[in-house]
Chain A
Amino acid sequence: MMSAVIPYAKTPSAPFRLMPGFHLSLGFTLLYLSLIILIPLSSVFLKSFTLTWEVFWNTVTSERVVASYRLTFGASLAAAAFNAVFGGIVAWVLVRYRFPGKKIIDAMVDLPFALPTAVAGISLTALYASNGWIGRHLEPLGIKVAFTPLGVFVALVFIGLPFVVRTLQPVLEEFERELEEAAASLGASRLQVFAQVIFPSILPALLTGFALAFARATGEYGSVIFIAGNMPMVSEITPLMIITKLEQFDYAGATAIAVVMLVISFILLLTINLLQAWSKRRAYVERS
């Protein structure tokens, strides 16, 4: 029955045609995807077509909005880079070394995925405010974190923390120790082995983790708005600009900024897919 319906499908094995439910499951998947994701998302683009190009351009290049891009992308980039370095060290330590409490620490790395962003936001704000546990010690040094762009950076480090660790861990676990031993037996120092053998093969995964953390940070709202202070031109993030426009019932303005953010998200998504394909290819070449 099924074989008559989908004769063009590439079949991995002949008896797969036995499997029922292709049309039911794919049909439901496409219907649900369209109703929940595709039609609602397309409303953003369709709404933006009702704007004239001039209104659109003036909205997305207004001074305050441009300042918000600078903060959102600058802080996201800095936080993702910070996470690439320290997340990389965490992944290395969790895979290579043994120490007490390792299992619990490994499990806790996912905390930023599980802890609601609003909770992270108020907690970080309380810590870094001038009377908080950490802010109290930074204030005498002249460092202000809460209610400044530095606070945005701290919140974005928190929410991006698991990405680099979780993309690097499996790659490090599957890394062939024999390669290190071969390099060592040929006279390489430990630093040379790391720089010339280990680092090149984990680089794709490291970049993937970096890109994932960056993409997540650019859209982040909940954890940032509490600690940012939200001063116009100084510490307003782009998602907050959308909210501000909505609160003024400026739907067109909110939509224009949303289109810019969506286009950037799609570019990032594409980049991440390419990086992951590179990472997989690298792993395949190494194994064969």
Chain B
Amino acid sequence: MSTISISAAGAAMPANPARSYAQGATVEAPWVRMLLIAIALGFLTLFLFVPLAAVFTEALRKGWEAYFSAIVEPDSLSAIRLTLLAAAISVPLNLVFGVAAAWAIAKFEFRGKNVLLTLIDLPFSVSPVIAGLVFVLLFGAQGWFGSWLQANDIKILFAVPGIVLATIFVTFPFVARELIPLMQAQGNEEEEAALVLGASGWKAFWRVTVPNIKWGLLYGVILCNARAMGEFGAVSVVSGHIRGQTNTIPLQVEILYNEYNFAAAFSVASLLAVLALVTLAAKSFIEWRLQTDAPQPPEESLP
């Protein structure tokens, strides 16, 4: 009983001992602190919280009934279905790629590794519009495979396969980006121990590697999924905007907005805003798990 109260008292002490002997030149004056906090909060309020609040306010402007009827409208429902389908295909594919790439890069040394790392990051630095354009150049009527596809009656552009391809392109690096630093920090020792003890390669992977990287994996998947469901530019180029057929949720938002159907546009958009909030909550939870699980948290990386 007494040990508990002692540790509780210990936890209540200031975390940073430097503070106890801090002088005027190592901390800011109180008014400077207050001013900086006020500027930071003002900036974030103006650019983050107000825009987020506006989505929900505008969505509910005409009441809950109008809100729900905008979402269960057939075109919106088909947009939701297509978005879920595109994410259900692109996220697992990029997950398998991410694990394979992280395994090769983190567990082995080879020439050209830095070039490979840069190439994996490429989709982040390419404009989403160009990501869409490349598939138009490949599969469009004037494209490289255009006439062959037409002769064989295969539709890629302005159809679901094109949307899936564009989504895979823009979400390509997410899982690999999270796993590479994590697996590099963990090293090879545990897998090597399993192999020395007679485990097969696959068994070592499933029993040793996967449990070690599960939170990092989930982190990458969540970010990948958020982008897959929310991608606008790339999908907009390849979709053809056929209502009820090739519209994803973000494209449906655009169509409703351009028809001045603002309340409906914001209602559908609020689904994506909720997805963003769930993503952030899940992300914070996993960061907390990663910090408690691993002695060394992975490097903060930008999606």
Considering the complex, give the chain B residue whose CB is closest to the CB of A92: B36
B119 at interface by CB-CB < 8 Å: yes
List residues of chain A with CB within 8 A of the CB of B276: 111, 114-116, 119
Contact at A116–B231, with CB atoms within 8 Å? yes
Q: Given A105-B41, A226-B257, A134 and B50 touching (CB < 8 A)? A: yes
Contact at B26–A118, with CB atoms within 8 Å? no
Contact at A219–B26, with CB atoms within 8 Å? no
By DSSP majority rule, is chain B's interface helix, strand, loop, or mixed? helix
Q: How far is the CB of B7 from the nearest CB of chain A, in Å?
A: 21
Select one of A167, A169, A262 contacting B130, CB under 8 A: A262
A180-B138 Cα distance, complex, nearest whole Å: 57
A228-B140 Cα distance, complex, nearest whole Å: 29
Interface membership of chain A positions 208-230, coded 1 if the CB is closer than 8 angstroms to chain B and 0 otherwise: 00001001001111100010000
Q: Given A93-B37, A126-B58, A166-B302, A43 and B129 touching (CB < 8 A)? A: no
List residues of chain A with CB within 8 A of the CB of B244: none
Q: Given A115-B52, A269-B121, A90 and B201 touching (CB < 8 A)? A: no
A207 at interface by CB-CB < 8 Å: no
Contact at A124–B125, with CB atoms within 8 Å? no
A112-B128 Cα distance, complex, nearest whole Å: 16
List residues of chain A with CB within 8 A of the CB of B52: 111, 115, 123
A134-B283 Cα distance, complex, nearest whole Å: 31
Contact at A107–B118, with CB atoms within 8 Å? no
Q: Which stretch in B62-70, B95-103, B147-155 binds the other chain?
A: B95-103
A218-B41 Cα distance, complex, nearest whole Å: 27
A218-B130 Cα distance, complex, nearest whole Å: 12
Select one of B116, B223, B299 contacting A170, CB under 8 A: B299
A4 at interface by CB-CB < 8 Å: no
List residues of chain A with CB within 8 A of the CB of B275: 114
Q: Given A109-B44, A221-B129, A29 and B172 touching (CB < 8 A)? A: no
B134 at interface by CB-CB < 8 Å: yes
Q: How far is the CB of A127 from the nearest CB of chain B, in Å?
A: 5
Interface membership of chain B positions 81-115, coded 1 if the CB is closer than 8 angstroms to chain A and 0 otherwise: 00000000000000011001101110111100000
A93-B261 Cα distance, complex, nearest whole Å: 41
List residues of chain A with CB within 8 A of the CB of B232: 116-118, 221-222
List residues of chain A with CB within 8 A of the CB of B169: 36-37, 40
List residues of chain B with CB within 8 A of the CB of A38: 119
A275 at interface by CB-CB < 8 Å: no
Interface membership of chain A positions 238-276, coded 1 if the CB is closer than 8 angstroms to chain B and 0 otherwise: 011011001001010011001001100110110001000
List residues of chain A with CB within 8 A of the CB of B123: 37
A62 at interface by CB-CB < 8 Å: no
Contact at B104–A22, with CB atoms within 8 Å? yes
Q: Among B27, B28, B41, B134, which residue has the most Cβ atoms of chain A within 10 A?
A: B134
Q: Which stretch in A53-61, A63-71, A187-195 binds the other chain?
A: A187-195
List residues of chain A with CB within 8 A of the CB of B191: 19
B212 at interface by CB-CB < 8 Å: no
B221 at interface by CB-CB < 8 Å: no
Contact at B280–A269, with CB atoms within 8 Å? no
Select one of A40, A86, A123, A192 contacting B43, CB under 8 A: A86
Which residues A135-190 have CB closer than 8 A to chain B? 154, 157-158, 161-163, 166-167, 169-170, 177, 180-181, 183-185, 188-190
Which residues B186-212 have CB closer than 8 A to chain A? 188, 191-192, 195-196, 201, 204-205
By DSSP majority rule, is chain A's interface helix, strand, loop, or mixed? helix
List residues of chain A with CB within 8 A of the CB of B231: 116
Select one of B27, B110, B128 contacting A222, CB under 8 A: B128
Contact at B25–A183, with CB atoms within 8 Å? yes
Select one of B103, B125, B129 contacting A21, CB under 8 A: B103
Which residues B15-38 have CB closer than 8 A to chain A? 16, 18, 22-29, 33, 36-37
List residues of chain A with CB within 8 A of the CB of B230: 114-119
Select one of A33, A133, A255, A269 contacting B133, CB under 8 A: A255
Contact at B138–A90, with CB atoms within 8 Å? no
Q: How far is the CB of B224 from the nearest CB of chain A, in Å?
A: 12
Select one of B103, B142, B172, B302 contacting A25, CB under 8 A: B103
A114-B238 Cα distance, complex, nearest whole Å: 22
List residues of chain B with CB within 8 A of the CB of A170: 299-300
Q: Among A107, A163, A268, which residue has the most Cβ atoms of chain B within 10 A?
A: A107
List residues of chain A with CB within 8 A of the CB of B138: 40, 43
In the complex, the 5 A-B pairs of residues with the closest C-beta atoms, listed nearest first: A116-B230, A219-B127, A184-B25, A20-B201, A222-B232
Task: Known A-B contacts: A22-B104, A29-B116, A113-B303. Give 9 more (CB < 8 A).
Answer: A15-B192, A19-B188, A41-B126, A177-B16, A246-B133, A249-B142, A254-B136, A262-B130, A269-B122
Residues of A within 8 A of B (CB): 6, 9-13, 15-16, 18-22, 24-26, 28-30, 32-33, 36-38, 40-41, 43-44, 47, 86, 89-90, 92-94, 97, 99, 103, 105, 107-120, 122-124, 126-127, 132-134, 154, 157-158, 161-163, 166-167, 169-170, 177, 180-181, 183-185, 188-190, 192-193, 212, 215, 218-222, 226, 239-240, 242-243, 246, 249, 251, 254-255, 258, 261-262, 265-266, 268-269, 273
